[in-house]
């Protein structure tokens, strides 16, 4: 069996890494990694691959940045000849970036079987480009591999056949569990005992100057009681520079460059609270039991709210201050880890694909045998 993994952004690699490793244990499976180049950070790329323990991509489409339409079109046009050349048995796509939806569409038109890892997530907010990508991908994919039971419910509600849907668990947690011991050796020295860790990158939060300014002021105020560490996403840094927003002068707000996965995971594990608008961080903090305040009105990962440590505060900075104060005062709710977030999701994915491949081979043999007996 020949598998192609199509990835387009750093979170995709974190999801693909355990699946690549699980397939590598099967000598009858060959694999290739196709990097669309949708997101590329030259400074962090090499160390990122090394830390995840995955090979460099076999093919890089070098799509680069652009509008959503431009990126999607470029991925489709550049990926098609690669698929025709490789003739894979399965293509695996991950998450909800433009590359994911584009690859799924190309596979559907070429009649190449495609499996969506992290299927079924819904924010029910179509103003988010990722929501459109999730819906499109799920409705053209042949196999939908969900991280939590709400994903199954969403897909069934949309009329997708139950036999296409398989609950396998969360591959992000596979990566976290494998690398957490190593992350502990990447701890930043001189950290305070208690601190808030912040990430912010979504356009709705960083493209609006007044909100971004108020958010930074809120962090500055917070830092007087709880030191704040803010690794600034390149998009956010550009917005701050373009809007001429000066760095807050209060000396407990520590703004840093982007961190490697291991460095950030080490910070996350020990944080008093994490403030974010990232989907993946909602999952990681839920597993780690670290309080998470999400600066979004909705989430495609509701299990992190119902079972985990996540609280949606929206863009209400007064609410953000209130929730931080609760955490600082020791008021942390009890949390649980969602089912199948156990470090074995990739093994279940491999089992599903191998079983389907065996079934398809058996059906093909039976069809040929039936055809020959009637001639």
Q: Which tokens belong to 172?
A: 């992000």
pLDDT of residue 237: 81
Superfamily of domain 185-328: Glycogen Phosphorylase B; (3.40.50.2000)
Q: What SS3 class is residue 4?
A: strand
Rounded to an integer, what is the distance from CA 373 to the centroid of its chain? Answer: 50
Q: Which of 26, 139, 201, 254 is catalytic?
A: 201
Round the average pLDDT of the chain to a whole number and report it.
90
Question: What is the rounded distance in angstroms from the CA atom of residue 99 to the CA atom of residue 273?
Answer: 32
* 178 has a pLDDT exceeding 70: yes
201 an active-site residue?
Answer: yes
Task: Let me know: does 247 contact 223? Beta carbons within 8 Å.
Answer: no
292: enclosing H helix or E strand: strand 292-294
- CA torsion, ordered 198, 202, 208, 211, to nearest 10 deg: -30
Question: What is the rounded distance in angstroms from the CA atom of residue 230 to the CA atom of residue 216?
Answer: 10
Helices (H), 31-110: 42-52, 68-86, 98-110
CA distances from 361 to 91, 110, 354, 366 (A): 17, 20, 11, 9
DSSP label at 164? G
Q: Which tokens belong to 165?
A: 């849907």
* 246 has a pLDDT exceeding 80: no
Handedness of CA 326, 264, 40, 134 (dihedral sign): negative
Handedness of CA 343, 279, 299, 5 (dihedral sign): negative
Tokens 């509701």 sit at which residue? 302
157: enclosing H helix or E strand: helix 149-157
CATH class of 2-168+344-373: alpha beta
Q: Which tokens belong to 365?
A: 């043999």
pLDDT of residue 248: 46
- CA torsion, ordered 235, 220, 191, 233, to nearest 10 deg: 0
pLDDT of residue 229: 94
Task: Let me know: does 292 contact 286? Beta carbons within 8 Å.
Answer: yes
Confidence of residue 9 (pLDDT cuts 50, 70, 90): confident
* 212 has a pLDDT exceeding 60: yes
267-297 pLDDT, tens digit each: 999 999 999 999 999 999 999 999 999 999 9
Task: Let me know: does 254 contact 228? Beta carbons within 8 Å.
Answer: yes
* 89 has a pLDDT exceeding 60: yes
Location of each CATH 3.40.50.2000 domain in the chain? 2-168+344-373, 185-328
Confidence of residue 334 (pLDDT cuts 50, 70, 90): confident
pLDDT of residue 10: 84
Task: Let me know: does 150 contact 22? Beta carbons within 8 Å.
Answer: no
pLDDT of residue 359: 65
* 26 has a pLDDT exceeding 80: yes
Q: What SS3 class is residue 200?
A: coil
307-323 pLDDT, tens digit each: 999 999 999 999 999 99
């Amino acid at each position: 069996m020949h598998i192609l993994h199509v990835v387009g952004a750093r979170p995709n690699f974190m999801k693909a890494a355990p699946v690549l490793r699980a397939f590598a244990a099967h000598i009858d499976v060959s694999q290739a990694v196709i990097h669309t180049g949708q997101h590329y950070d030259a400074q962090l790329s090499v160390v990122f691959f090394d830390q995840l323990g995955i090979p460099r991509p076999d093919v890089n489409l070098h799509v680069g940045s652009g509008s959503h339409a431009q990126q999607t079109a470029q991925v489709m046009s550049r990926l098609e000849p690669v698929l025709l050349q490789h003739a894979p048995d399965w293509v695996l796509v991950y998450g909800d970036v433009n590359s994911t939806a584009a690859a799924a569409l190309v596979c559907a038109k070429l009649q190449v079987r495609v499996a969506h890892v992290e299927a079924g997530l819904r924010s029910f907010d179509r103003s988010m480009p990722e929501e459109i990508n999730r819906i499109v991908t799920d409705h053209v994919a042949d196999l939908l591999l969900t991280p939590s039971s709400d994903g199954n419910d969403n897909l069934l509600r949309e009329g997708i056949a139950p036999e296409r849907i398989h609950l396998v668990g969360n591959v992000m947690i596979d990566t976290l569990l494998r690398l957490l011991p190593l992350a502990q050796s990447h701890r930043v020295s001189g950290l305070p005992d208690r601190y808030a860790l912040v990430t912010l990158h979504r356009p709705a939060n960083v493209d609006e100057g007044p909100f971004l300014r108020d958010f930074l002021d809120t962090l500055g105020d917070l830092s007087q009681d709880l030191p704040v560490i803010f690794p600034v996403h390149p998009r956010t840094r550009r917005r701050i520079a373009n809007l001429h927003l000066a760095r807050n002068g209060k000396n407990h707000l520590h703004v840093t460059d982007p961190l490697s996965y291991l460095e950030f995971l080490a910070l996350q594990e020990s944080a008093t609270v994490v403030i974010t608008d990232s989907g993946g961080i909602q999952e990681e903090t839920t597993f780690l039991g670290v309080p998470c305040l999400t600066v979004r009105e909705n989430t495609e990962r509701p299990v992190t709210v119902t079972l985990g440590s996540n609280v949606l505060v929206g863009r209400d900075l007064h609410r953000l201050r209130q929730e931080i104060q609760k955490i600082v005062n020791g008021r942390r709710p009890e949390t649980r880890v969602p089912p199948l977030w156990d470090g074995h999701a990739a093994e279940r994915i491999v089992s599903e694909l191998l079983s389907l491949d065996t079934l398809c081979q058996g059906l093909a043999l039976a069809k040929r045998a039936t055809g020959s007996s009637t001639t």
